Chains A and B, each alone.
Chain A
Amino acid sequence: MIVANDKTFCCTGCKNVYELLEENNLCTYYSLDSTPGITGNQPANEARFAYLDDEGVEAQLLNFKNDSIAKVTFYAPQMHCSSCIWLLENLFKLNPGISESTVNFLRKEISVTFFHQKTTLREVVTLLARIGYEPSITLADTDGKKETKKNYSLIYKLGIAGFSFGNVMLLAFPDYLSLGEEVQRDFGKFFGYLSILLSLPVLFYSARGFFESAWAGIQQRMVNIDLPIATGLLALFITSTYQIISATGPGYLDSFTGLVFFMLIGKYFQQKTYDTLSFDRDYTSYFPVSVTVLKENGEEESVAVRNLKVGDRIRIRNQELIPADAMLLRGTAMVDYSFVSGESELVEKVVGEVIYAGGRQAGESIELEVVKEVSQGYLTQLWNNSVFSKNEEQSMETYANVAGKWFIIVTLLVAAGALIYWVPRDTSMAMRAFTSVLIIACPCALSLSTPFVHGNTLRIFGKHKFFLKNTGVVETLAKIDTVVFDKTGTLTEPSAAELSYSGKILTPEQEQSLKSVLRHSTHPLSQRIFQAIAGEAQEVHGFEEFAGKGLVGEVNGHFIRLGSASYLGVKADTSQDTLKTRVYVSIDGVVYGYYTFQNVYRSGLQDVLQGLEVGRVAVLSGDNNHEEARLRELLGQEAELNFNQSPVQKLEYIKELKNQNRHVLMVGDGLNDAGALKQSDAGIALTNSVTNFSPSCDAILDATAFNKLSKFIGFSKKSMNIILASFAVSLVYNVVGLTMAVQGIFTPIVSAILMPISSVSVIVFATLSVRYAAKKAGL
């Protein structure tokens, strides 16, 4: 909650709106008449936008530019309420150089049109940053124009199929109402030919996908679900056309168009996407566009990150990202690696140490010398691995495809059988039975149940903050038999750490003295201990802080020192020495004891681990093994624990598991897990805020829903059972239908009515049973 002027606001946007209006004595929300001068809190450093003045960068960011205007689209993840829209669409009142700004709220995008003679791209970005919507401009934005245009071909297909379906059905109405004889005589030909005309776009455009997929399957010598569908559709269309042209019947074009329409609805339902989420990000979406390079004469220059060379000296300011592996030359680096490793504790680096790319500097500005090019860094070389260059193929071994294979074999056998039986007896009956079998065995029900079961599962997961990339992930999750976790940030709660003190007991008075000394230090560990000790701080004399070592100060005549073991001259036993998170206390030269920071595991972890019904559980940690005992206790004796894993090693580990024919689920959170997430069958990225950056993955899980992870996996398995059940339902329908069709009992009208009913019943069955199962599973 954000508080200003005794009022609470839901976000900085709302607060800014209020402040803007308040400043101009215009507290009526709707009457911002004149341009309000913004004097509000300005972020310390707007020089970081200097790179936007560079023409090359500008050209890559702008969508359009002519003599007078320029258009640009930004992603602004901060917007989240209608006030945000209002403020962002009124940008032209804040900067007269802006002619128009339009928000797409669902995509969290803002498109700005501005007069580039009156204002600059940099000013626009600075204005956005000042009002609290700093656009995220990353390396990925300058890698070329991103394709944001959505593919609407499915909607076109659906529209055309729906149009044809409705009209053909209207023309087939006389048949339904058995007005046959008279109407057929007068209008039969006209209605028939018109129906063929209306069905042609459905055959050649709407149903195209089914034929193409079936053909691709044949070429790869694979039978997929689309082959029996394509056969059925083709049989339907040809029979109908033949009947109409030869004037032997009204045809089944209404069923034909209807089937295509229903199946496209299934495809559309399956195609749920989460607009604000991106599942394909790599490090370029996280890295900045440019960095400040120090030239030999001491001048600063903005240089595109891509052009950084080994040996360049760069300056990184507070909250800026270190874009390449570099050696620290000047200043104290406090690096926040939370996006890389999940570790929220700042890592302190001293002059001469190499800092890996991906960390964010907190504190003073530092100078570094680049030791590796951006794409060759410790972290970024991960993306040179072949897993990232391969295009992901949709697995052919889906339930639907496997079932489809058997379906077509059985169907063809039955059809051939009917043909052989009828030919010696009645040739016209033989043809009728043969086509009827093909038509009625068209596994539309089968191909409908899968998208609806998956689509509904996807939506239920989404409601519980578990976002899947596509419906195929549901099936992958159901097959998982090995789960691999990253430790830091995934199993542990990054923002919380347990603090414990061991050693000689401190008197409350002594604790107060410690607190007083700690108050003067900004080191995160000092701050944590400071908050943990209750009471008031006292006056401190002679305070001094030694970077990377510890603190010293005098309180009430007591000489207090806090810091690392080496700083206090403590000889810690070597096995414990690897514990970096230990702060020793010394009062008047006597070492009293130490504070230990221990990782806190996520709440509900126990339930998740118990609920996972998989054969193998493993942990990959980039850390050392000081938590091994606790992990053993949590995960059991069989679990495989691997420590000191580099990003590439994590990837290799998953590869090894896959070579053993395991279906691997990787759960990770940072950039260093990106390779493992990509390599695994299903990679889940855990994030504290879904709009934040997350590495490329198959699913994004909100950290608050972590305790439901085992339920999600269990439910995926259940949804596969539901697909099986709806297969069974449609199979029964097909068997009954087939036996009657083989005997030639069905009139066209009965088939025409049964077909849509069966489709709808499968949709209803799939939807209801998924909802019911979800309720039962507590989702």
Chain B
Amino acid sequence: MFIIFLLIGISVTVASGFLAAFLWAVKSGQYEDDYTPAVRMLFENEVSKPTKTKQKQV
């Protein structure tokens, strides 16, 4: 049954990793603005050939 000690050790370590990731994400300001990045990713970068799709303006 020693494996249980090992498994719990691993599970707590993994969970701690996620906790650390969460705290880092909050600290680095990723929760500051939860709207703009969602829109920004829809803007394309430099396009050499103009596409003919007319975007709907919100």
- Chain A residues close to B by CB (< 8 Å): 9-10, 14, 17, 26-31, 33, 81-83, 85-86, 89, 102-107, 150, 152, 155-156, 159-160, 163, 166-167, 170-171, 186-187, 190, 194, 198
**Interchain CB contact (< 8 A) of A89 among B16, B40, B57:** B40
Nearest-CB distance from A3 to chain B (Å)?
A: 14
The answer to whether residues A166 and B33 also contact, given A30-B50, A83-B58, A152-B27 and a CB cut-off of 8 A, is no
Nearest-CB distance from B53 to chain A (Å)?
A: 8
User: B22: which A residues are within 8 A, CB to CB?
Assistant: 159
Judge whether A82 and B31 touch: CB under 8 Å.
no
The answer to whether residues A81 and B58 also contact, given A159-B23, A167-B15 and a CB cut-off of 8 A, is yes
Nearest-CB distance from A45 to chain B (Å)?
A: 30
Judge whether A30 and B44 touch: CB under 8 Å.
yes
How many B residues are at the interface, by size bracket? 35 or more
Judge whether B36 and A85 touch: CB under 8 Å.
yes
Judge whether A104 and B36 touch: CB under 8 Å.
yes
The answer to whether residues A163 and B36 also contact, given A86-B43, A89-B43, A152-B27 and a CB cut-off of 8 A, is no
In this complex, the member of A81, A85, A166, A170 whose beta carbon has the largest number of chain B beta carbons within 10 angstroms is: A85
Judge whether A33 and B46 touch: CB under 8 Å.
yes
User: B31: which A residues are within 8 A, CB to CB?
Assistant: 152, 155
12 contacts between A and B (CB under 8 A): A30-B47, A30-B55, A33-B46, A85-B40, A85-B43, A106-B36, A107-B33, A150-B32, A152-B31, A159-B23, A167-B12, A190-B8
- Chain B residues close to A by CB (< 8 Å): 1, 4-5, 8, 11-12, 15-16, 18-19, 22-23, 26-27, 31-36, 39-40, 42-44, 46-47, 49-55, 57-58
The answer to whether residues A26 and B50 also contact, given A82-B58, A152-B26, A156-B26 and a CB cut-off of 8 A, is yes
- Bound CA span A86–B35, Å: 13
- Bound CA span A103–B43, Å: 13
Judge whether A160 and B50 touch: CB under 8 Å.
no
User: A30-B43, A194-B8 known; 15 other A-B pairs, CB under 8 Å?
Assistant: A10-B57, A14-B57, A29-B57, A30-B50, A81-B58, A85-B39, A105-B39, A106-B33, A150-B32, A155-B31, A156-B26, A159-B26, A186-B1, A187-B4, A194-B12
Closest to B44 in A: A30
- Bound CA span A85–B33, Å: 13
Closest to B9 in A: A194
Judge whether B15 and A166 touch: CB under 8 Å.
yes
User: A9: which B residues are within 8 A, CB to CB?
Assistant: 57
**Interchain CB contact (< 8 A) of B36 among A14, A26, A105:** A105
Judge whether B50 and A106 touch: CB under 8 Å.
no
Where chain B touches its partner, the secondary structure class is loop
- Bound CA span A82–B22, Å: 28
Judge whether B19 and A160 touch: CB under 8 Å.
yes
Nearest-CB distance from B15 to chain A (Å)?
A: 6
- Bound CA span A81–B15, Å: 39
- Bound CA span A9–B50, Å: 23
- Bound CA span A191–B4, Å: 11
Nearest-CB distance from B12 to chain A (Å)?
A: 6
User: A83: which B residues are within 8 A, CB to CB?
Assistant: 57-58
- Bound CA span A171–B4, Å: 11
Judge whether B12 and A31 touch: CB under 8 Å.
no
- Bound CA span A85–B57, Å: 12
- Bound CA span A160–B20, Å: 9
Judge whether B33 and A163 touch: CB under 8 Å.
no
Nearest-CB distance from A171 to chain B (Å)?
A: 8
User: B18: which A residues are within 8 A, CB to CB?
Assistant: 163
User: B32: which A residues are within 8 A, CB to CB?
Assistant: 104, 150
Closest to B19 in A: A163
- Bound CA span A152–B54, Å: 41
Judge whether A31 and B50 touch: CB under 8 Å.
yes
Judge whether A28 and B52 touch: CB under 8 Å.
yes
- Bound CA span A31–B46, Å: 7
Closest to A170 in B: B11
- Bound CA span A31–B31, Å: 31
In this complex, the member of B35, B57, B58 whose beta carbon has the largest number of chain A beta carbons within 10 angstroms is: B57
Judge whether A31 and B51 touch: CB under 8 Å.
yes
- Bound CA span A713–B54, Å: 47
Closest to A153 in B: B26
**Interchain CB contact (< 8 A) of B35 among A29, A106, A152:** A106
- Bound CA span A17–B42, Å: 17
User: B4: which A residues are within 8 A, CB to CB?
Assistant: 187
In this complex, the member of B4, B18, B52 whose beta carbon has the largest number of chain A beta carbons within 10 angstroms is: B4
- Bound CA span A23–B11, Å: 60
Nearest-CB distance from A1 to chain B (Å)?
A: 13
* The 6 nearest A-B residue pairs measured at CB: A31-B50, A28-B50, A105-B36, A104-B33, A163-B19, A29-B55
User: A82: which B residues are within 8 A, CB to CB?
Assistant: 39, 42, 57-58
- Bound CA span A190–B7, Å: 13
Judge whether B54 and A29 touch: CB under 8 Å.
yes
- Bound CA span A27–B43, Å: 16
In this complex, the member of B40, B51, B53 whose beta carbon has the largest number of chain A beta carbons within 10 angstroms is: B40
User: B44: which A residues are within 8 A, CB to CB?
Assistant: 30
Nearest-CB distance from A185 to chain B (Å)?
A: 11
Judge whether B19 and A159 touch: CB under 8 Å.
yes
User: A27: which B residues are within 8 A, CB to CB?
Assistant: 54
User: A198: which B residues are within 8 A, CB to CB?
Assistant: 12
